[in-house]
Amino acid sequence: MPQVRWRDEDTQGHVNHIPMLEWVAQARVDYIDSLYRDDTVDYVLVHLSTDFHAKVYYPDDISVRASIRDKGKTSLTTVYELFRQDGVRILTAVCTNVFFNKKTGTAVNVPF
């Protein structure tokens, strides 16, 4: 669960979008790694879309909800929703990742 740091705020007094995207990046890695991990296969982000719904302020604690939207042959699309501690949704991000063989660099089937 990300915790808002004082330095995350911008001159307008709310959290800048960059820390929020860092929270999504960490949630993406944590979520996919929790589904499957293999030393010979990795994944790379090929698409990211983000909608910002509400402001975030220091010292909020953020919760993340992750889910799978679509599973293709070599790609996985996941959704991340970030919420303030008062339950307000602040962000929705959709990420598409392609899985590949680390040795050859070629795409492989989603391994789960």
Please tell me the predicted confidence (pLDDT) of residue 4. 86
The answer to whether residue 107 is domain-embedded is: no
**What letters, b where the CB count within 10 A reaches 16 and e where it falls short, cover 13-40?**
eebeeebbeebbeebbeebbeeeeeeee
Look up the domain containing 86 and give its range. 6-101
Domain total for the chain?
1
pLDDT in tens, the chain (112 residues): 788 888 888 888 889 999 999 999 999 999 999 999 899 999 999 999 999 999 999 999 999 999 999 999 999 999 999 999 999 999 999 999 999 999 999 999 999 9
CATH of the domain at 33: 3.10.129.10
The answer to whether residue 110 is domain-embedded is: no
- What is the rounded CA–CA span in Å between residue 20 and residue 107? 29
Please tell me the predicted confidence (pLDDT) of residue 110. 97
The answer to whether residue 13 is domain-embedded is: yes
Cα–Cα distance list, 19 to 45, 47, 70, 101 (Å)? 18, 18, 26, 30
Indicate the helix (H) or strand (E) that contains 19. helix 17-35
pTM score? 0.92
The answer to whether residue 108 is domain-embedded is: no
Indicate the helix (H) or strand (E) that contains 30. helix 17-35
